[in-house]
């Protein structure tokens, strides 16, 4: 199997992609949304004509809400970002935006998150990420408990986890770049996307590892087995189904991205990337790594 033969090349590609993702993460940083840092987001649509931005900017600045960010949306709308607003401040804001009711508008949405709620959610998100990672590690260890030759079961788990990190890192890097250029914000859905990728990607790796497990069991009678060959054979047998199972999910995700609600657009995109690289990594990263580990073991 050419993948096993050129394993170092494929592993290098993954390493480069992950490095680029991490680099963009450090260069651009996260654009944290109000879900986590607190603040208010008001979306309004004017009924007839949208007032010019500099006029609104001036009157908004005099409200004393600190920095107010005004973003045009659609043909008649603005999204206004401020610190979190109380009920009366919210009314004042709407009053100002409508130029004292001279330019009627409809408020499409208003979202004000107090700083404590944001901190809480951050804590929750971090806990969820830790717990899900732990649960998946335990699950992998359990699933591969019976396979120990020639590579011991915990190494399968370790490689599955490395693959997992790879699958998460690349979509995150992609998201950071998107948020830098298109203003996507790190919100609750982002965290959900990361966690879902964890689940989806590991299931894909398991399909291929399962095949290796089965082939190893069947070949047990032969005294000398070439591990690389078995992995290659397993890959050959299972890459079509691995791609197909991911493809069905990617198809629905693309439908969600192109036709679905605006609020889940970036979510769908991240998951698509996660699915894509999850499949890529289970074929081009996890299995080559497995062979590489076995080769190192032999050298010792």
Partner 1 sequence: MWKKIVLALIILVLGGGIALFVFKSEPRLNKNFSTTYSFLKNHPFRLGLDLSGGSHLIYKADISAVPAGQVGDSMNALRDVIERRINLFGVSEPVVQVQHGGFVSGATGEQLIVDLPGVTDVKQAIEMIGQTPLLEFKTEAPAGTPQNATVDKNGKVTVDASPQFVSTELTGRYLQKATLEFDTNTREPKVSLQFNDVGTKLFAEITKNNVGKMVAIYLDGAPISTPVVREEIPNGQAVISGSFTPTEAKLLVGRLNSGALPVPITLLSTQTIGAILGESAVNAGVKAAIIGFLLVALFLILLYRLPGLIATVSLCIFISIILALFKLMPVTLTAAGIAGFIISIGIAVDANVLIFERIKEELRSGRSIHDSISAGFSRAWFSIRDSNISNFITAVILFWFGTSLIKGFALTLGLGVIISMFSAITITRIFLGAFSFIGEGKVARFLFNSGLSK
**CB contact at 8 A, 165 and 246:** no
Closest separation between CB of residue 107 and partner 1, Å? 6
In the region spanning residues 160 to 219, those forming contacts with partner 1, defined by CB under 8 A, are 188-189, 191-192, 195-196, 198-200, 202-204, 206-207, 210-211, 214
Q: Figure out which of the listed residues 26, 181, 259, 296 binds partner 1, where binding follows CB under 8 A.
A: 259
Cβ-defined contacts of 175-183 (< 8 Å, 24+): 175/266, 175/270, 176/21, 176/24, 176/25, 176/28, 176/29, 176/30, 176/31, 177/24, 177/28, 178/266, 178/269, 179/28, 179/30, 179/31, 180/24, 180/28, 180/31, 183/31, 183/71
Q: Is 121 in the site for partner 1 (CB under 8 A)?
A: yes
Q: Is 264 in the site for partner 1 (CB under 8 A)?
A: yes
262 scored as a contact of partner 1 (CB under 8 A): yes
d(CA 9, CA 12): 5
Instruction: List the beta bridge partners of residue 77.
Output: 45, 73
101 binds partner 1, rule: CB under 8 A: no
Contact positions with partner 1 (CB under 8 A) in 27-86: 43, 84, 86
Q: Which of 298, 278, 20, 285 is nearest to 158 (CA)?
A: 285
**Interaction between residue 1 and partner 1 (CB under 8 A):** no
Note whether 127 binds partner 1 by CB under 8 A.
yes
- Residue 22 touching partner 1 (CB under 8 A): no
Closer of 86 and 219 to partner 1 (Cβ): 86
The secondary structure of residue 38, as a DSSP letter, is -
Q: How far is the CB of 150 from partner 1 (least distance, A)?
A: 21
Binding to partner 1 in span 224-243, by CB under 8 A: 237, 240-241
* 74's tokens: 């659609």
Interface region with partner 1, contact rule CB under 8 A, candidates 18-26, 61-69, 135-143, 287-295: 135-143
User: Is residue 92 involved in binding partner 1 (CB under 8 A)?
Assistant: no
Whether the Cβ atoms of residue 275 and residue 249 lie closer than 8 Å to each other: yes
Q: Can residue 104 be called a binding residue for partner 1 (CB under 8 A)?
A: no
Tell me how far CA of residue 143 lies from CA of 89, 157, 198, in angstroms: 56, 9, 16
Residue from 58, 87, 220, 299 that binds partner 1 (CB under 8 A)? Answer: 87
Closest approach, Cβ 157 to partner 1, in A, equals: 13
């Amino acid at each position: 199997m050419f993948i096993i033969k050129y394993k170092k090349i494929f592993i290098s590609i993954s390493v480069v992609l992950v490095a680029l993702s991490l680099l963009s993460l450090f260069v651009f940083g996260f654009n944290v949304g109000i879900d986590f840092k607190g603040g208010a987001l008001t979306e309004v649509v004017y009924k007839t004509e949208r007032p010019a931005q500099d006029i609104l900017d001036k009157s908004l600045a005099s409200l004393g809400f600190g920095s107010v960010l005004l973003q045009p949306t659609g043909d008649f709308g603005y999204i206004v970002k401020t610190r979190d607003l109380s009920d009366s401040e919210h009314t004042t804001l709407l009053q100002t935006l409508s130029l004292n009711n001279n330019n009627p508008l409809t408020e499409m949405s208003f979202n004000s998150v107090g700083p404590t709620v944001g901190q809480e959610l951050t804590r929750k998100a971090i806990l969820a990420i830790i717990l899900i990672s732990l649960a998946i590690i335990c699950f992998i260890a359990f699933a591969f408990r019976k396979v120990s030759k020639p590579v011991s079961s915990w190494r399968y788990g370790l490689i599955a986890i490395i693959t997992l990190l790879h699958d998460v890192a690349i979509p995150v890097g992609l998201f950071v770049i998107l948020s830098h250029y298109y203003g996507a914000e790190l919100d609750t859905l982002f965290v959900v996307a990361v966690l879902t990728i964890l689940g989806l990607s590991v299931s894909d790796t398991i399909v291929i590892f399962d095949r290796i497990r089965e082939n190893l069991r069947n070949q047990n009678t032969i005294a000398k087995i070439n591990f690389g060959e078995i992995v290659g054979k397993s890959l050959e047998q299972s890459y079509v189904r691995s791609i197909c199972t991911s493809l069905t999910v990617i198809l629905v995700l693309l439908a969600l991205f192109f036709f679905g609600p605006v609020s889940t657009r970036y979510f769908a995109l991240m998951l698509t990337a996660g699915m894509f690289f999850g499949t890529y990594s289970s074929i081009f990263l996890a299995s080559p790594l497995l062979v590489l580990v076995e080769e190192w073991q032999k050298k010792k």
